[in-house]
Amino acid sequence: MKNESVRRILIVDDEEELAEIIAEMLEGCGYQTDTAASMSSAYELLGGKAYQLILLDIGLPDGTGFEICEQLRQSSHVPVIFASARKTEDDRINSFDIGGDDFLQKPYSMKELLSRVNALMRRAYGDEGGQELGFGSVRIDPKSRTVTKAGKAVPMAQREFDLLCCLCRSKNAAVSKEKLLSEVWGAFSEVEPSTLTVHIRWLREKLEDDPADPKFIKTVWRLGYMLEDRS
């Protein structure tokens, strides 16, 4: 599998042994994983990290995967794969109606799960892992998580790099503050919008020739930010 850009997957399943087996398999294929055995622990993780995909069981000891997905869809478009032993057509239909992207019937093979994960990652994020991003004289390598400007390395903290990539993926389109906070800090993060403002300022100071009059990282009034590059 070619998964050159490390992506985080959250596995929410009260069958803890199964969750660990899945995590081990996915990590062996280059993904980073966290596991949660309940709705409350899933919310805690989602409040502190951003994930690129969520594998979500329906039946949980303190709620349902449906509830988590409904909450997610209020602020996030992160891909969701439902995995459940439930067999009714209504459950499958409901999983898609509330915003799920795929549905796996338990028991399933690890090979099928990996295939579904890879396919959904490709649909959601393309081949970014092997594709250099950039604007102006700035080059971004998602594989090594490095940034250069005019050929010189620019040090980047994790959040700065993730924020920069998020803006680059939507180049020349406005991205709302809510989406940036969700994708970089986590869907249920309680990070204040001022934190985003500070990180945008840091990116401008590192990448713009004149941070006070940015050419690329623009503020979109009352909405958010845009990485503009019309060249």
Of the candidates 187, 29, 171, which has an alpha carbon nearest to the alpha carbon of residue 111? 29
CB 27 within 8 A of CB 33: yes
Residue where one domain finishes, among candidates 128, 147, 164:
128
Residue 198 φ/ψ, nearest 5 degrees: -65, -45
- 228, pLDDT greater than 90: yes
- Rounded Cα distance, 227 and 214, in Å: 10
The pLDDT value given to residue 4: 40
Residue 150 and residue 72 share a domain: no
Tell me if 24 is assigned to some domain.
yes
The domain that contains 215 carries what CATH number? Answer: 1.10.10.10
One-letter amino acid for residue 58 of the chain: I
Residue 174 and residue 114 share a domain: no
Q: pLDDT tens-digit profile of 138-164?
A: 999 877 788 999 999 999 888 899 899
Residue where one domain finishes, among candidates 128, 150, 176:
128
Of the candidates 92, 97, 57, 49, which has an alpha carbon nearest to the alpha carbon of residue 73? 97
The pLDDT value given to residue 3: 38
Range of the domain at 98: 8-128
